Amino acid sequence: MRIIKYDIPEIDQIPQFAKILDDLSVGNNPYLVGSAGTGKTTIGEKVAYAINGRKENDGGELPFTIVNCNQWTSPIDIKGGQTITGYKEGALIEAWRDGKILILDEMPKLDANTAGLLNDALAKSAKENAIIFNGNNQPIVKHTNFGCIATGNVIGKGASGNYVGNNKQDASLLDRFSGCIYRIGFNETLERELVYPDLVDICLKIRGEILRYEGKSADDDDTEDIMTLRTMLNFQRAYVLEMKRELGLPDLHGKPYKKQPNGKTLKDAIESYFMAMGVAKAHKIKEEINLESFLNSYKGSIKKQVFKEEYKRRM
């Protein structure tokens, strides 16, 4: 019987987290759908630790194995087979045999015929001591802790306007996830927990203006230009480094950070972000949120003190 670890912050910050754990505990296959950068794969990894009663990054063997699905993913990657260096075991077989969570990252990018290799195993996820066959046609008994989580930008019924690299999947495969599909979209609660206050505020303003410009609703994450948690964290890494240098905070060895001429700044990161956007759209959004004012003030003395206090809190 699994020892599920529920005392983790994600239970409260991610509404679907407990439901995903429940699905896996009874042998269902959760499917996490959402735009790029919303944390689908990260959630899958966290769930794998939680359902095995473990602390994340505890130094032990990973409780999951990932298939980075794409058009070149082969039967060998999934079930195993002979290569020029000898036999290679597939990720499905490893997870099935060793009791890991199989994460099918961006599953709709699989060729539909290759994806069909998953059908037998996923139909047996809830069956004790179920048997599947590896690339050498050897029978492999299912470990009681096996589970599967799939992720995708789309459901699997074809490409979208923003995600054109997806394939239409067979209905028999999608049926293995029926009743266990979860939309992983914008999560302001989690974003505000992970991102520094001043930074998350300006990022949320950018997102709001993108949605207005594109005529989308507040919870629609299928946008041409995205402002996701991943983007915010990319900004934050540059921001924290810049502020450490500005404030001369100590590094891991106790030596103060020094200012770096022409080093990466938050302003650089945000300007780079807008370079990927249409000129007229970028200009409109910058004006609406008064971005220039933010960029001129985020390193002011008061803002530096706010950062310093928040930095200490997070240490």
Instruction: Give a yes or no: residue 4 inside a domain.
Output: no
Task: Encode pLDDT of 221-272 as tens digits.
Answer: 888 999 999 999 999 999 999 999 999 999 989 999 999 999 999 999 999 9
- Both 132 and 222 in one domain: the answer is no
- Work out how many domains the chain is built from and give that number: 2
Task: Encode pLDDT of 265-299 as tens digits.
Answer: 999 999 999 999 999 999 999 999 999 999 999 99
Instruction: Give a yes or no: residue 134 inside a domain.
Output: yes
- Both 51 and 173 in one domain: the answer is yes
Instruction: Give a yes or no: residue 20 inside a domain.
Output: yes
Which amino acid, one-letter code, is at 234? Answer: N
Residue 148 and residue 205: Cα distance in Å, rounded? 36
What's the confidence (pLDDT) of residue 272? 97
Instruction: Give a yes or no: residue 1 inside a domain.
Output: no
Among 148, 183, 218, identify where a domain stops.
183
Instruction: Look up the CATH number of the domain holding residue 56.
Output: 3.40.50.300
Assign 12 a pLDDT band (cuts: 50, 70, 90): confident
Token duo for residue 166: 């997806």
The percent helix, strand, coil of the chain (3-state, each to 5) is 45, 15, 40
| pTM for the full predicted model | 0.86
Residue 69 and residue 43: Cα distance in Å, rounded? 17
Q: Which domain holds residue 133?
A: 10-183
